[in-house]
Amino acid sequence: MKNLRPDSLFVHSGITRDPRTGASSVPIFQASTFHQEDPLHLGEYDYSRSGNPTREALEKSVAELEGGSVGLAFASGIAAISSTLMLFAPGDHLVVCADVYGGTFRVFDKLFRRWGLEVTFADASNLETFAGAITPNTKALFVETPSNPLLKITDLRKVVEIAKTHNLLTIIDNTFMSPAFQRPLDLGIDISLHSATKFLGGHSDVVAGIAVIKDPQLGKRLRFVQNAFGAILGPQDSWLVQRGIKTLGVRMERQQKNAGILAHWLTQQPEVLKVFYPGLPTHPGHAIHMSQASGGGAVLSFELASQAQAVQLMTSVKLPLVGVSLGGIETILSYPTTMSHAAFSVQERATLGISPGLVRLSLGLEDPQDIIEDITQALRNI
Ligand SMILES: Cc1ncc(COP(=O)(O)O)c(C=O)c1O
C-alpha cells in the first residue's frame, strides 16, 4: 500500500490478510514443499527454502517499511549479516565500524577472515579515520549507528558520500533504531540489516534477522544467497515477527519515552559515572543523530566505577530481565563484558571504551517510575 504514514504502515504493510479466506493475518504455511501441477513449469512456490508465503508476507512488509525493493528474512540477525557477507569474495576488503555488536565482530574476525575476506575495524564516529581505512580492494562500508554498546553516532549522509566517491556498497545494522526511527535507505544506504529478535519482533520470543535492499539487482543477488546459503526464517517465526511489527510504532514511542526519562534520571545519580544515550542533548553525536533519525531510541548504557558495582546492580534489581538481548517489551539489563561483547578480548574492549563497569539498559513498556524505584534500591546497595 502506498503513501501511508508510518503508524498505518506498521499495521498494513505487506500482505495483511489471507487473500483466500479474508482471515485477519496471513496463515502459517507450515509446509516444506508445494505440489506442482506441471513439473516442467513450476508454480510460484516450489520449496520453502526458496520461498514460503508466510515468510514472503513478512519480507514484503519490511521492504515497504524501509523503502526497499527487496526484503529478506533470515534465521537470526547474524544469519542476515553472514548471508550479506556472502555477496563478497575472498580478497575483498570491508571497513567496519569498530564498536559493532560482538557477534558481528566475531563473524568477520573468526569466520570470514579465515575464508579470505579482509576487514579493518575503524571508528565510524570519526569519518576521517573511517575513510582512511579504505584500500584499493575495499568493496563496502559497514556501520552500526547508534553503535552497540556505547551508542556512538555515525553520519550516514557522509558515509554515503564517501562510498560514492570510492564506488563502495554501504551496509547498516539498523537494529537499535528499527524503521520506526531510522530509514537508512532513504539516505542512500544500500542494505539495511536487523536483528529482528529485538524491536521488530519486540516480545523476546523469537530469534530472526532481516535484510532490506534498495536496488532490485542487488536484492536479486542477496535473494540468490538466501536460497543458496539457506539460512532462512521458518514460517512460525516469520508470523511472530510480522505480528510484532503491527505494534512497532506504539512500542517504540513508549519505550523511547521511558529511555529518555531513565537517561535523564541516571545522569543525576551519584553512583553513575557516565550515561550514553543519543537522545540526551549532551551526547556528542546528538545533533547528527537527530538529523537522520526521529528519536533517541529505547537503549542506553551507563558506567559504574567497577565490575563489582555492575554485578551488585545486576544481582540486586528485581524488575528488569538481566540477560542477553534488547528491544523486548520487558526492560532488559545486559552486561556487555560477558554478553554482547564477550567475543572481544579484554584489551579490545578496553581500547573501545567498554569498561568492566558498563551496563546496557533496554527500556520496556513498564511504568518508568517502577524501574527508577527498583534501580534506586539496587544502586543504594552498591
Ligand atoms: C545490533 C545487533 N546486531 C545484530 C545482532 C545479532 O542478532 P541475532 O542475535 O538475532 O542473531 C544483535 C544481537 O544482539 C545486535 O544487538
Residue 244 has pLDDT above 90, yes or no: yes
CATH number of 6-245: 3.40.640.10
pLDDT value of position 294: 97
Percent of the chain with pLDDT over 90: 95
Asked whether 101 lines ligand 1 (CB < 6 A), one says yes
Residue 114 has pLDDT above 90, yes or no: yes
Tell me how far the alpha carbon of residue 101 lies from the centroid of ligand 1, in angstroms.
7
Taking the CA of residue 80 as reference, the ligand 1 atom at the shortest distance is: 11
Tell me how far the alpha carbon of residue 270 lies from the centroid of ligand 1, in angstroms.
32
Grid cell for residue 205 = 520470543
For 88-230, where are the alpha helices, taking DSSP H only? 102-106, 127-132, 156-166, 178-181, 216-229
Question: What is the CA angle 156-162-167, rounded to 5?
Answer: 120
Tell me how far the alpha carbon of residue 77 lies from the centroid of ligand 1, in angstroms.
5
End-to-end distance of the chain based on CA atoms, in angstroms? Answer: 53
| Strand 93-97 with 138-144, pairing | parallel
The residues carrying an active-site annotation are 49, 101, 173, 198
Asked whether 82 lines ligand 1 (CB < 6 A), one says no
Q: Which CATH superfamily is domain 249-380 in?
A: Aspartate Aminotransferase, domain 1 (3.90.1150.10)
The string of pLDDT tens digits covering residues 28-78 is: 999 999 999 999 999 999 999 999 999 999 999 999 999 999 999 999 999
Which of 83, 176, 177, 197 to probe ligand 1 with, by most ligand atoms within 8 A of CB? 197
Q: How many CB atoms lie within 10 A of CB 50?
A: 15
Do the Cβ atoms of 211 and 171 come closer than 8 Å? no
Is 6-245's fold the same as 249-380's? no
- Using pLDDT thresholds of 50, 70 and 90, give the confidence band for residue 211: very high
Residue 1 has pLDDT above 80, yes or no: no
pLDDT value of position 15: 85
Grid cell for residue 262 = 531513565
Q: Whose CA is nearest to atom 2 of ligand 1?
A: 101
- Using pLDDT thresholds of 50, 70 and 90, give the confidence band for residue 133: very high
Mean pLDDT value of segment 346-354: 93
pLDDT value of position 2: 60
Collapsing DSSP to helix, strand or coil, 142 comes out as strand
Asked whether 175 lines ligand 1 (CB < 6 A), one says yes
Mean pLDDT over each residue of the chain, to the nearest integer: 97
Asked whether 199 lines ligand 1 (CB < 6 A), one says no
Which of 76, 100, 101 to probe ligand 1 with, by most ligand atoms within 8 A of CB? 101
Mean pLDDT value of segment 313-317: 97
Backbone angle region of 82, left / alpha / beta, with phi > 0 → left and psi within -120 to 50 → alpha:
alpha
Q: How far, in Å, CA of 300 to CA of 277, rounded?
A: 5
Asked whether 148 lines ligand 1 (CB < 6 A), one says yes
Higher-scoring residue by pLDDT: 99, 111: 111
Asked whether 145 lines ligand 1 (CB < 6 A), one says no
Enumerate the domain spans of the chain.
6-245, 249-380
Which of 175, 177, 204 to probe ligand 1 with, by most ligand atoms within 8 A of CB? 175
Mean pLDDT value of segment 84-103: 96
Mean pLDDT value of segment 190-198: 98
The string of pLDDT tens digits covering residues 60-70 is: 999 999 999 99
Residue 267 has pLDDT above 60, yes or no: yes
| Beta carbons within 8 Å of 190's beta carbon, 6+ residues apart | 169, 170, 171, 213, 214, 215, 218
Asked whether 141 lines ligand 1 (CB < 6 A), one says no
Tell me how far the alpha carbon of residue 104 lies from the centroid of ligand 1, in angstroms.
8
| CA 322 to each of CA 89, 155, 312, 366: distance values in angstroms, whole numbers, following the listed order | 39, 32, 12, 15
Asked whether 340 lines ligand 1 (CB < 6 A), one says yes
Query: What own/partner pairs with CB < 8 Å and gap ≥ 24 does 107-112 have?
Result: 107/78, 107/81, 107/82, 109/343, 110/343, 111/82, 112/82, 112/85
Collapsing DSSP to helix, strand or coil, 14 comes out as coil
Residue with cell 556472502: 86
Mean pLDDT value of segment 142-153: 96
